[in-house]
Chains A and B, each alone.
Chain A
Amino acid sequence: MSRRRARLGRALDVFGPFVGLLLVIALFALIPEVRGRFLRAANFKSVATQSVIVALGALGMTLVIISGGIDLSAASNIALASVVTAYAVNAGAGPLLAVLLGVLTGGLVGLVNGGLVTRLRLVPFIVTMGMMGIARGAAKWIAGNQKIDAPMTWVNELMAKSPRPSWLLLAPGIWVVILLAAALAVLLKHTVFGRHVFAVGSNEATARLCGLRTDGIKVLVYAVSGLFCGLSGVMEFSRLTVGDPTVAVGLELDIIAAVVIGGGSLSGGEGGVLGTMVGVLIMSFLRNGCTMMGWPNYIQEIIIGAIIVAAVALDRLRHRKD
C-alpha cells in the first residue's frame, strides 16, 4: 500500500505540472464555440510560436530562481537586445553578426547583474530592479526614442508561422527553444555546475562552507540567464520585424509566473525546466483560448492571477506530503 502510494506520489511529481496544462486545454476543448478550431494542429503551432519569447526568458529565469535569485530586468533586457539586433541589421551588419550582438548584449546585462549582486552584496531584487530601468532606458536611447525599421532578412524567418524550408514543420524559434530546454535540463540534472546551482539556492552558507565558489556560480547564472534574454530579444525582433524599445513591458512578471507555476520556489533550490515550459504553455493557451472566445482582457488577467496562486498552493500541498 505504502509503496503504491509512493509510486503515485512520484508519478504526481513528474506529471503534476501537466495537470494544469491539460485542464486549460480541456476547458477550451469543451466549449462548443471554439472546440473545432482550438484543437487544430495549426492553432497549437501558433500558440507554440507565441510562447517562444517568454519560454526563452523563462529558461534563464529558471536557473536564476533555482539559485535563489530573481531577475526583474529580464523584459527590459529582451527589449534592449531586440533594439540592438534591429540597429545592427539597419547599420548594414550581416544578420548573423546582428543576432550575435543581440545575444551578447543580453549576456552582458546579465553579467553586470551578477557582478553587482556578488561584489556589492546587494539583494538581486534591488540590483535587477535598477537594471530594469537602465536596460529599458538604454534601449530607448539606442533607438532614438522610436522604433527601428530594419530591412527584412532571414532573422525575420525565425518566428515565421510557415517556416522555410517547409520540412522544419515548426518555426525555427520553436526548435531553438526545444533544443535549449533539453540542454538546460541536462545541465541542471547531470552536471556538477547544475548541482552547485541547486546547492547555492538551497543554502548558500552551507554551500560556501562545503567549498563551493558561490560568487562565481552566481555570476555565471546571471550571465547565462542574460544570454537567454538576449536570444529572446532576437526572437522578439524577428516577430515584430521592427526593433521596438517599448516592447515587452511587464513581461518579466509573465516569465517569473511561468517558473513559479512550473514548481520553482522563490526561496531557491527548487524548479525545473519541464515545469517551467508547462507554465509558459499554460499562460499561452489561456491567452489564445480567451482571445478565441472573445472574452475581455480583464477575465484573462483574473484567470492567470488565480492560476498562479492555485499552482503554488498545490505545489505546497505536494511538498508537505514528503
Chain B
Amino acid sequence: MATGSDSASTKTVLYVVVVVVAVLVSTVLAPVVWNATQSSDEDSDTPSVAVITLRGGTTSNNVASIREDLRQARNNDSTEAVVLRIDSGGGPVASSEEIYLAVNRTAQEMPVVAYVEGVAASGGYFAIAPATAIYVKPSSVVGSVGVVATVPEVVELQNQQRQLFIRSGPDKQIISVDEIRNIVESFQNAFVGTVMKHRGDDLSLSEEEVSRAGVYTGTQAVENGFADEVGSLESAIQRAAEESEDIEGDNYNVYYKEPPEMLFGLLFAEADVEKRDGNIVYVDRGDETETEFEQPVKFYAVWGIPEEYTTDGNREVSINETN
C-alpha cells in the first residue's frame, strides 16, 4: 500500500511539475504568438495618427527612411492622418525633391500636418510644402526657398584649367559657369514653383519675393503665409485628426515612427563612424561611388554654410541624442 500510495503521489507531483513547466514555457511563448497574430496599434480598427519625424538633413538616407514611413502610413488601413515632425535645414536637391514627392503623395490620400520642431528651411521646407497645415513655434525657422551649387576650382579658374582628359566631344567634362547658372535657375524654378503651387494662396509674398530665399521665424511665417498656426506637436496632431474624415472626435490613437537614430542608437552605418567622444560621434562619409571620379558640381537645397568653412574642417559632427 505504502508503495502504491508513494507511486500515486509521485505521479501527481510529476504531473504538477509538468503542467507548471508547460505553463511557464507557454508564458514565454504566448507573447510571441500574440504578436504574430495580433496587429499592432497601427493596424487596429481604431483610426490613428502617425507621427513621423525627420531630424537632420534631407540626405538620401534620411529621406529613404521617411519615404518608407510614409509608405507604411499610406498602406495601413487604420492610419488616417500623418503629422510630419521636422527639424531639417535641407540637403541635396535630388533627395529634397524625393521627400517632397513622398509627402505630396501621402497628402493626396490623407491629411498631412507639419510640425516645425526647429528648422524647416530650404530642402526641409520643400518637404513640408504640400502639408495640409504647417505648425510652428516662435523659434522655428522656415523658408530659404533656393538652390546652391558647389563648383570645383576649375570653374572659377576656367581660363587656367589644363587639359586633363582626352574627351570625345566638346561638352564632355566641361563645366561652364553659364551652364551651372542655368541648372541652378531651373532647379530653383521647380522649387519655387512647388512652394507657389502649394502655398501660393496662403502667401502674402510674391513669387519673386519667395525666390529671394529669405528665412522667417515662426511668427513671421504665420504672418506671411509660410506657416499656418503657432502651436505644439499636440496641436498638430489634433489638427491632423480634425482634418481627417475618418476620425471622429477624440476617438483615435497616435503612434510614433521613431527616427532612425532612436531605433538603432546611431543614424550612421558603423563603418562611417570615425571617432566617438562621449555623446559626439564623428562621421566621415566617404564618396559613395567607388570610382576615382567625383561628381564635379553638386546642387543643394540647404540653409547653412559648407562644412569646410566651419572650424571642424570637412568632417560632419553630430550629437547622438538619446532623449
Question: Do they bind each other?
Answer: no
Chain B interface residues toward A at CB < 8 A: none
Residues of A within 8 A of B (CB): none
